[in-house]
Structure 1
């Protein structure tokens, strides 16, 4: 559930945001660009340059689409705050990336469970200009469309450990490419520190690794290079899913989420 409502475009397709919402965007992008300048992978930084994201206002989706169309053929599509798995896979399979057209409030600048326009545009769209990243994301959507409910859960873990929270080794050192890290001030610093575990990327292991969405991740999978995603897109991922389902999940490396205790009226 979410208390945010996606903005509707007007008759000309323009989405109107308030000055307060533009101010939140400015705070987020200004802060995050400074944090990730020496932490993001070069392919992401190249994408940021291509997109030319404005700092003083929230960009319109058409602005993003013009750049994506000219690079990889991807597009972004306006969606409500939360969408079903089926819709998500349908969009990715047709090279359309879902973007919820709301932005967090100033009270939730540092953390938001649901993906807002800052997370989607700043975190993911720069790498959608990269053909390796785009190919993997496209293939992932096509696989998800034909997968069963049980298989989709394993695919979701693969997505989480790559597209959302992936790291990559580069000639300049370990860098970030996962959108969930790139849009988070705390996780961008924490993920590259000595505190969490860093495992060499193994898609089967990633599928078998539990995660929580509400904590800093206890471990990250590290690609040898970003091209590994392109190679993975042409491997038999569904065979890996079947193997993962047979082997089962690894034990969680994080504490269980504490549920609030129930009280009863006298």
Structure 2
């Protein structure tokens, strides 16, 4: 997506025309495999009772805790059998048109590297733990898998209409930082949350952020934080509902959005369904994991 500077403008040496590279799984060091195991064990303990059923079911179906960084040659057949998706490695953040083309063809792009030990708690550019642990379990859910493919197809159209910033907000507030109603409460499903030890707790339990009901046009008007915890999280009623509301012609929505003001991250509108009216205390203290 467009939230970070791209590492490359054209495929670098060793990358295919579609920007994919070999995972080269055998080249990972023992320390890198151990880093995955540390992150996996920590997150699974934190996510018990917090992550949605589809995410937890997906981690089991793909055996992501099988020991070290998953070998995509073993993971992809399992994922493809469930929903027709596969994971492909890329050398860095790729241009938007490449990203959308892969999604539209049921290929999820992942970084090949894993973070260093001193980066366990925060990393700006997505690594293989964020991409595979955070994103891929939800791709085992048929409705979410369809939603992601539709998003890729919609991204190609949004580019041609000059509406990519609005569509990027939909991805941010669902795929990356979405909450879901489940079993009488709120659960996590966004990859940016479930792959973060601190935000997994903050997103559900801290009194600071707003938690608001998902509304498509409202989300597509709402600004967001790139480098810190979110000040507002949106709650979908179900993955099926998210898929249904987004499988429509966005052109009338884009026409309405062109004349609409952007909504600041902390704002609650009179029309919002409010699960939590946040204190915004975390942001007031300066954010970035403020004490």
The equivalent of 1:181 in structure 2 is 193
Offset, 1:171: 1.6
Residue deviations 1:96-150 (CA, integer Å, cap 9, x gap): 0001110000111101111110001111111101011111110010011122363
Q: Does 1:151 align with 2:169?
A: no
8 Å CA contact 1:81–1:102 kept in 2: the answer is: no
The equivalent of 2:41 in structure 1 is 30
Residue deviations 1:4-54 (CA, integer Å, cap 9, x gap): x999648xx644201111111111001000000110000111111100113
The equivalent of 2:32 in structure 1 is 21
Q: Does 1:102 align with 2:94?
A: no
Counterpart mapping for 1:1-266 below 5 A: 9=22, 14-148=25-159, 150-193=162-205, 194-253=207-266
Rounded to whole Å, the distance in 2 between the matches of 1:242 and 1:54 is 46
- 191 and 236 in structure 1: CA distance in 2 versus 1, 3 angstrom threshold: same
Rounded to whole Å, the distance in 2 between the matches of 1:45 and 1:56 is 17
8 Å CA contact 2:22–2:89 kept in 1: the answer is: no
Rounded to whole Å, the distance in 2 between the matches of 1:56 and 1:165 is 27
Normalising by structure 1, report the TM-score.
0.89
TM superposition outliers: structure 1 runs of 4+ over 3 Å: 5-10
Rounded to whole Å, the distance in 2 between the matches of 1:15 and 1:144 is 34
8 Å CA contact 1:208–1:249 kept in 2: the answer is: yes
Structure 2 regions of 5+ residues with no counterpart? 267-282, 287-291
3-state secondary structure, aligned to 1:54: coil
8 Å CA contact 2:102–2:108 kept in 1: the answer is: yes
3-state secondary structure, aligned to 2:27: coil
Structure 1 regions of 5+ residues with no counterpart? 258-266
Rounded to whole Å, the distance in 2 between the matches of 1:72 and 1:81 is 25
8 Å CA contact 1:207–1:241 kept in 2: the answer is: no
- 78 and 15 in structure 1: CA distance in 2 versus 1, 3 angstrom threshold: farther
3-state secondary structure, aligned to 1:169: strand
Rounded to whole Å, the distance in 1 between the matches of 2:67 and 2:236 is 34
- 147 and 8 in structure 1: CA distance in 2 versus 1, 3 angstrom threshold: closer
Please tell me the root mean square deviation across aligned C-alpha atoms, in Å.
2.4
Rounded to whole Å, the distance in 2 between the matches of 1:111 and 1:64 is 26
8 Å CA contact 1:100–1:116 kept in 2: the answer is: yes
8 Å CA contact 1:167–1:221 kept in 2: the answer is: yes
